[in-house]
Structure 1
Amino acid sequence: MTLKRFSVVLLACLSLSACGGVDPNSPLGQRKAIFKQMLKTSEDLGGMLRGRLPFDGQKFADGAVKLDSLSREPWKHFPQVKEEDDTSARADVWQKQARFQELARALESATGELVVATRAQPLQAPALSAPMQKVEDSCKACHTEFRDH
C-alpha cells in the first residue's frame, strides 16, 4: 500500500511540475518558439562553415532562406506593454523601442544579405563566412543590449 501511495504522490508531483510552462499561444511563447528555430537554423549554418557539420550548399542556401524568413517574425510578438510573464527580455525592450526596432531591422538586413550571398553558385563556405558572421553579430548586439542572460 505504501508503494502505491508513493507512486500516486510522485505522479501528482510530476504532473504539477509540467504545468508551470509558458503558454505556447502567448506572445512570449510565440517569440520563444521562433527564437529557438532561429538558433537551431543558425547553429546548423555556422556548423557547416566551421566544419562541425559537412558543408552542403543546397542545405545552407535553404537554411539561409529559412533564417531570413524567421528573422522577420519575432518582433510582432513583443506587445506594446511588457507582459507579466517571466521573460528574458530586459525592460529596455519596451522603454527603448526605436533602438530595439533598429537592431531588429539590422538582423533582417543581415539575413537578407546572407540569402543574396547564397545565390553565387557554386556555393563555397569561405565566401559565406563574412555574411554569416554579420548575422551572428546582429544577434549578439541585440542580446547584449536587450536580453537578460
Structure 2
Amino acid sequence: MTLKRLSVILLACLVLSACGGVDPNSPLGQRKAIFKQMLKTSEDLSGMLKGRVAFDGQRFTDGAVKLDSLSHEPWKHFPAVKEDSNSSAKDDVWQKQARFQALASSLESVTGELVVASNERPYKASNLSPAVQKVQDACEACHKEFRDH
C-alpha cells in the first residue's frame, strides 16, 4: 500500500472518529491526538523526500526528532483494560500485549534509526528514504494486526 493511500485512509479515519465527540482528555483522545501528530510529521518527512514539499535539512532532522519523541508516547494511553468507546483498536491490543508491545518497541527503534540517518551529512535521499520506509513499515505492521479499519 502506498504512503499516500495509507495516509488518506488514516486521515479519513481520524476525521470520522473526531465526529464522534471523543473526550480529548480520555486515553482514547490522547492517543488519537498523538497518532495524528505522528501522521502529520511522517507526511512532512515523506513529502520532502518525494518533492511534494521543498527539502529543508534542518526541518527534516527536527521532524525526525519529533517523530521519535512522539513514537514513545501513545502506548501509555492504552489502559490495562479496553475502554468502552469507539476505539479503532482491536481487542487483540489487550489480549496480545506482548506482541503489541513488541511492535511498539519496533516503531520506537526505527524512529531512532531515522534520527541517526537524519544527522548524517550531507543529506542524501539514499540514506533517508530507507529509514523513512522502515518507519512506515513499522506503522503498517501494527495497524494490520491491531487496528480495526
CA 1:120–1:91 in 2, change beyond 3 Å: closer, same or farther?
same
Question: Is residue 96 from structure 1 mapped to residue 96 from structure 2 by the alignment?
Answer: yes
- TM superposition shift of 1:118: 1.1
**Residue type matched to 2:123 in 1?**
L
Number of the residue aligned with 2:82? 82
Aligned pairs for 1:60-71 within 5 A:
60-71=60-71
Unaligned runs of 5+ in 2: 1-17
CA 1:85–1:60 in 2, change beyond 3 Å: closer, same or farther?
same
**8 Å Cα contact 1:57/1:122 also seen in 2:** no
CA distance in 1, matches of 2:67, 2:28: 20
- TM superposition shift of 1:86: 0.5
CA distance in 1, matches of 2:56, 2:83: 41
CA distance in 2, matches of 1:19, 1:108: 30
Unaligned runs of 5+ in 1: 1-17
| Larger-gyration structure (1/2) | 1
Number of the residue aligned with 2:5? none
Number of the residue aligned with 2:54? 54
**Residue type matched to 2:70 in 1?**
L
- Deviation string 1:59-92 (CA, Å, 9 cap, x unpaired) is 1000000000000000000000000010000000
CA distance in 1, matches of 2:118, 2:19: 43
Relative to structure 2, which stretch is displaced further, 123-132 or 90-99?
123-132
Q: Which runs of 4+ in 1 moved over 6 A?
A: none
**Alignment identity in percent?**
75
Number of the residue aligned with 2:143? 143
**Residue type matched to 1:48 in 2?**
M
RMSD value, Cα: 1.3
- Deviation string 1:31-82 (CA, Å, 9 cap, x unpaired) is 0000000000000001111111111111100000000000000000000000
The alignment partner of 1:81 has SS state of coil
CA distance in 2, matches of 1:118, 1:53: 17
Number of the residue aligned with 1:35? 35
Number of residue equivalences = 132
- Deviation string 1:94-118 (CA, Å, 9 cap, x unpaired) is 0000000000000000000000111
Number of the residue aligned with 2:15? none
Instruction: Give TM-score, length-normalised by structure 2.
Output: 0.86
Number of the residue aligned with 2:44? 44
CA distance in 1, matches of 2:61, 2:99: 30
